[in-house]
A and B are shown apart, each in its own frame.
Chain A
Amino acid sequence: MSKERIDIPDYSTLFTEERYVQQRENKKQFEAPCSDEAKAEALAYSKSAEYLEKNFERKAVVINPHKACQPLGSVMAALGFEKTLPFVHGSQGCNSYFRSHLSRHFKEPTPAVSSSMTEDAAVFGGMSNMIDGLQNAVALYKPEMVAVCTTCMAEVIGDDLSAFIGNARQKGAIAEDFPVTFANTPSFIGSHITGYDAMIKNILSQLFDRSGQTAAPGTGEEGEKLNVLLGFEPYTGNFAEIRKILNAFDTKYTILGDHSGNYDSPANGEYEYYYGGTKLADVPKAANALGSLVLQKYTLKKTQEYISGTWKQPISSLSTPLGVKATDKLLEAISQLTGLPVPESLKEERGRVVDAYTDSHPYLHGKRVALAGDPDLLLGLIGFCLEVGIEPVHILCSNGDVEFDGKKWKEEVEALLATSPYGSEATVYVGKDLWHLRSLLINDPVDLAIGSSHVKFAAKDAGVPLVRVGFPIFDRHHMHRNPIIGYQGALNLLTLIVNIVLEQLDNNPSGLVDLVR
């Protein structure tokens, strides 16, 4: 084929050709009402210190938000359970956004359905949509459980999920004993992590209630097992990593909410709707486990309350364990909950990562960074930065102020920053958007920004390289397949960051390039 190949430029090069450039110039006459000078002036102003202040006084409008909504998190939560179909009760477009959002991050299909409410439902309520929807969905997709969450529309008109599902059973749309779990997830409150929490908590509590069991922690066969909850986890690699760690301990465990099967399924010739996930039967049994290990404590706020309140289990709560120290804490927590010693293999792995740290630290020391992301991820990232001598400067959390006590999170972040001289330059911004971050990046420049793909434009405007960590990552492939938690994750993060720094050195304006780093 190569002999006959014709050169067909892609848009990355095509539209730089003269004829297109000319076309573009011609169009400027329409660009009312700004002249080039006025535009340049406005751009310069938007980069000024004066504007920084004005930008932070902005109350009314959100510009470039850095969060998704509750039902998106609920869909992800539902996909963590065996043969469970996420069902979004409300208008149909929301579901379509969730599916494409999640699919574009994981590069995998997202099975989820909607009850497709329309104007009639706005007037008469969404009950018939729920009944028809459940019937159709169960017939079409043959799930073993349906997990219903709501969108704004169902919330505003006040649909009663429990009653509707009851009616669906009564009318024979679904069998009496067919499990349908549900959670109220209005998008005008909280964010994707709130919705994740709501759905996980409800799946646990509703399946437990259905089973008629009583909670007796540490008893029976399950009494030797550990429950593990990862939270709103955009990295499928993190599931593999936590499994590796728990297996090294030789402890038994149940991961509650494991969507890694769905989002890391093999291409072996046949697409199935459901891959892996926590077994439904394991959920009520989890009430007898020895304890629960939580890896995103701010995300899983309500779930933890439930586990400690109703299941009366001991809980070890951590934030995303990024870096060596956080992983140490993770291993200590596992050790404490199970009574097992930290295995040699992990001790050795730790040593290797520390070795890698020492190799790379000259290039990371004193690098100033900006961080943006979800609360637990940020705590992890800050910890990582501090232990390798990177200085966090701007820390921005769009969804750190809602539902759970944002003040508490901020206090913990500040306490963590105070443990190290490298944290002394940092300011924490809660509830701010990426337009705020842009002002910060421009006016108080940093060496690197760490955050999701959405941070790209702010970083580009400020001329700062972006290290992609978090959710969503659309514009790079396979980032989510590599773990960022545990010692292996620490090594991966280190590799990612130090190599971007080294690449910058190669691209330095002096043109000097060497081969001996």
Chain B
Amino acid sequence: MEPIRKEELDDQACGSMAPKSKPCPRPKPGEAAGGCSFDGAQITLLPIMDAAHLVHGPVACAGNSWESRGSLSSGPSLSQYGFATDLGNNDIIFGGEKKLRDSIDYIAGRFTPPAIFVYSTCVTALIGEDMDAVCKEASDRLGIPIVPVNSPGFVGSKNLGNRLAGDALLQYVIGTGEPEQETPLGVNLIGEYNIAGEMWDIEKLMNQAGITLLSRITGDARYKEITWAHRAKANMVVCSRALLGLAKQMESKYGIPYFEGSFYGAKETTYSLRQMAFLLNDREMERRVDRLTEREENRLAHDLRPYRKILKGKKAVLYTGGVKSWSVISALKELGIQVVGVGTNKSSDEDVQRIADRVGDDTEYIPEGGASRIIKTVRERKADIMIAGGRNMYVAMKEQIPFVDINQERHKAYAGYEGLLRLAKELVDSMVNPIWKLASSPAPWDKEGSYDR
């Protein structure tokens, strides 16, 4: 395995603004830390739906993680299979390269995938498996791309894993194919994973504006379409923290301009579509986008009315990772919700700057996790709702705090104009549900007042 140039990667992943003294936040021993680089790499690449994804390591690295993501597919499901080389004690001692070779051969023979992604794990990295060589040899022999993804869990955080997956795409996939016809208005979406089908809503909007979605990197992607991503006229980085480096390198290598944007909230969505039109440098396109966004915003404003009535003035604590920390704030603000606390745990300096641009001075920044810290903010700021991911959800339930799940396991799509409507409905539904009144009222025989908050 090539040595991983951590400093350089950290620098790219956190953005050029990250001061040297403060690289990517390092995991702190003794806390309930988030996912690892292996996890991050898988999140980025698993949405390539027709490819096979083989985990080279003990069976549980696959066993603990497969079937756990809400990244939807419109067709092929091969990416949902949990493939693992299942290294045991003997393989740790004698090496697992033969097993890897055989596994690749079996998958290629049986499932005829367009490509196989092979993930290293802590174990294979530590025992020094030469995965790159095995993949190269198998690739030459079988005639399909076998892509090594060198992102073992211990190298760092989930974000670093996203970044390493981006490296693998750049090194092995992008630029290896050509689209059938030239697409002068082709745009790539980078760092959009089609959670709960969000990408389909975005794609629909782009189609309506006449913008071609050239390559999805990687929500509901097919391997082939990523091979020609270098022919795009612009890149939009949807999750900036994860794959900004990929966009930067595509800019320097292929001259494709990029911008960072979001589809959470009407304003962000409109901005993103306009920005695409601007980078495509097509007057007619810009006019079309203006007409579309105006129409959609008007319609949304009308549809949102009943929800805004309820949501106006409500307070929320937002605890999520990376780009969502700032992009969701815009969406919430449009709904009339005040964000009184926001997690900055996994945010880069640029993200934090964007948060600051969007919230007022009295919003509390929650720099590190721990359920108690989040709950404390909810209590002190008298928040009406908590918006976070699955691992914090059940704590909110215990504390009787209305909750909306925003992370990758969720089942609702919140992107685009329709997505904002869905988010509004979800927030209202969660807040007005009668269980909260029931939960916080004392039982009839209980003479004490309602639970002290």
Contacts and interface: CB of A to CB of B under 8 A. Distances in A.
A271 B398 contact: yes
Given A91-B122, A156-B122, A267-B398, A118 B106 contact: no
A368 B427 CA distance: 46
Contacts of A60: 85, 99, 101-103, 105-106
B114 interface: yes
Interface string B396-408: 0111100000000
A85 B64 CA distance: 21
Contact of A135 (B30, B197, B413): B30
A93 interface: yes
B398 A109 contact: yes
Contacts of B390: 100, 103-104
A44 interface: no
A92 interface: yes
Interface stretch (B151-159, B248-256, B268-276, B281-289): B151-159
B222 A32 contact: yes
Nearest to A475: B67
- With a 10 A CB-CB cut-off, give which of A95, A112, A271 has the most chain B CB atoms: A271
Interface centre among B36, B67, B370 (most CB of A within 10 A): B36
B370 A133 contact: no
A116 B31 contact: yes
A6 B425 contact: yes
Interface stretch (B13-21, B53-61, B132-140, B358-366): B53-61
B106 A267 contact: no
A188 B428 CA distance: 46
A20 B200 contact: yes
Interface residues of B, number: 114
Contacts of A130: 29
Contacts of A5: 306
A439 B102 CA distance: 21
Contact of A187 (B58, B158, B409): B58
Contacts of A23: 74, 200, 203-204, 207
A96 B395 contact: no
Contacts of A177: none
A352 B129 CA distance: 60
A431 B439 CA distance: 46
A399 B349 CA distance: 46
B291 interface: no
Contact of B127 (A58, A72, A156): A156
Interface residues of A, number: 100
A112 B31 CA distance: 8
Given A11-B413, A68-B60, A115 B122 contact: no
Given A11-B411, A103-B394, A129-B29, A156 B224 contact: no
A457 B81 CA distance: 10
Interface string B338-369: 00000000000000000000000000000000
Interface stretch (B86-94, B167-175, B233-241, B258-266): B86-94
B356 to A, nearest CB: 27
B83 interface: yes
A37 interface: no
Contacts of B75: 24, 27-28, 31
Interface string B100-119: 01110111001110100000
B203 A136 contact: no
Among the interface residues A20, A29, A31, A108, which one has the most CB atoms of the partner chain B within 10 A? A31
B33 interface: yes
A112 B371 CA distance: 12
Contacts of A114: 27, 29-33
A435 B114 CA distance: 21
A1 B32 contact: no
Interface string B419-453: 00110010010001000000110000000000111
Interface string A473-517: 010000000000000000000000000000000000000000000
20 contacts: A6-B421, A15-B200, A23-B203, A30-B223, A62-B84, A63-B82, A63-B83, A64-B81, A69-B59, A95-B32, A97-B39, A103-B391, A109-B395, A122-B125, A132-B30, A136-B31, A151-B122, A156-B92, A156-B122, A188-B91
Given A30-B225, A119-B4, 9 more contacts: A38-B112, A61-B102, A65-B60, A118-B27, A137-B30, A156-B127, A269-B400, A457-B67, A474-B67
Interface of A: 1, 4-6, 8, 10-11, 14-15, 19-20, 23-24, 27-34, 38, 42, 46, 58-69, 72, 87, 90-101, 103-104, 107-119, 121-122, 129-130, 132-138, 140, 151-153, 156-157, 186-189, 191, 265-271, 273, 435, 453-454, 457, 474
